[in-house]
Amino acid sequence: MSPLVAPATPRTPRPAITLTAPPSNKRRRRGAARSSLRAIRAVRALFRSLPILNPACRFPGVIPRHGGGGGGAGGGPRGHDGHLSGASRTTGTLFGHRRARVTLAVQETPGSVPILLLELAMTTGRFMQEMGAEHLRVALECEKKPPGAGAGIGRTRLLDEPLWTAYVNGRKIGYAVRRDPTDDDLTVMQLLRTVSAGAGVLPADVVGAGAAPEGQEAGDLAYMRAHFDRVVGSRDSESFYMLNPDGNNGPELSIFFIRI
């Protein structure tokens, strides 16, 4: 008698295994480049996306001033609040319509009349784009008049000089002109009197169109306000330093006045 043979059990086919090659270095570099580009575009779009603020309300965003361990760009040690030793505290405001020239206003307090109003030969939109750099340095130079060139030479305060050659990060942008405050300037300062530090946009129907380029609509007015450390080096040099919000990387905006 022949032995019994169990019927063969049908085998279940195994699923095919698909091998995926790891991403190449070239593909990873492309992804990193796209991420960097998106970050740059986000910074440049900052002032176009800021909300319109109600001028009657206090702007909530305040730039913190955490302590830095070492000396700052001003050459002196910083205290626990990041304040430069020997420097005086001032308020600086950069403002203007996007296609108009940016204006720098320096005040002793946020609610006081500006002690300096300077108009730079750069549009506000372009200046705010430059603020996306790691550090922004604005150098303003004026010529020192020789002795005997006129009455009162040597007594003119540095910030009273009327005309400056302006450089942004080492690149000449033209000139900066000191001017008296206009009614529109005083309106902006009045609207921002309760803002100690921050950035935002003021509606065009509130600030007026006096600073808009001729033949163009004014649009909203962008501003950035912060506390600055004012350091007087000599009769012919002064510096203003705005601390970086994280307090660790030195000033993110430095403004130098030099008479040469």
Q: pLDDT (tens digit, 0 to 9) for every residue of the chain, 260 residues total? A: 555 555 555 555 555 544 445 555 656 566 655 554 554 454 444 434 433 343 333 333 333 333 333 344 444 566 656 677 778 999 999 999 999 999 999 999 999 999 999 999 999 999 988 887 778 999 999 998 876 655 455 568 999 999 999 999 999 999 999 999 999 999 999 999 999 888 999 998 888 765 555 555 568 999 999 999 999 999 999 999 996 655 555 568 999 999 99
> Are 80 and 109 a contacting pair, CB within 8 Å?
no
Of 185, 41, 27, residue with least CA distance to 119: 185
pLDDT score at 34? 59
Residue 14 lies in a domain: no
pLDDT score at 55? 38
Domain with 111, as residue range(s), is 41-74+82-259
pLDDT score at 206? 85
Please tell me the total count of domains within the chain.
Answer: 1
pLDDT score at 87? 87
pLDDT score at 65? 33
Residue 110 lies in a domain: yes
Residue 59 lies in a domain: yes
pLDDT score at 146? 75
Distance separating alpha carbons of residues 141 and 148, to the nearest angstrom = 21
Residue 186 lies in a domain: yes
pLDDT score at 140? 98
Residue 18 lies in a domain: no
**Three-class DSSP category at 130:** helix
> Are 27 and 33 a contacting pair, CB within 8 Å?
no
Q: Which helix (H) or strand (E) holds 226?
A: strand 221-234
Label residues 153-188 b or e (16+ Cβ within 10 Å = b). eeeeebeebeebbbbbeeeebeebebeeeeebbebb
pLDDT score at 74? 47
Distance separating alpha carbons of residues 36 and 189, to the nearest angstrom = 37
Distance separating alpha carbons of residues 176 and 234, to the nearest angstrom = 21
- The CB density around residue 146, as the number of other CB atoms within 10 Å, is 8
Residue 31 lies in a domain: no
Residue 165 lies in a domain: yes
Q: Which helix (H) or strand (E) holds 116?
A: strand 116-123
Specify burial of residue 152 (Cβ count, 10 A radius: 0-12, 13-18, 19+).
Answer: exposed
Q: Which helix (H) or strand (E) holds 32?
A: helix 25-44
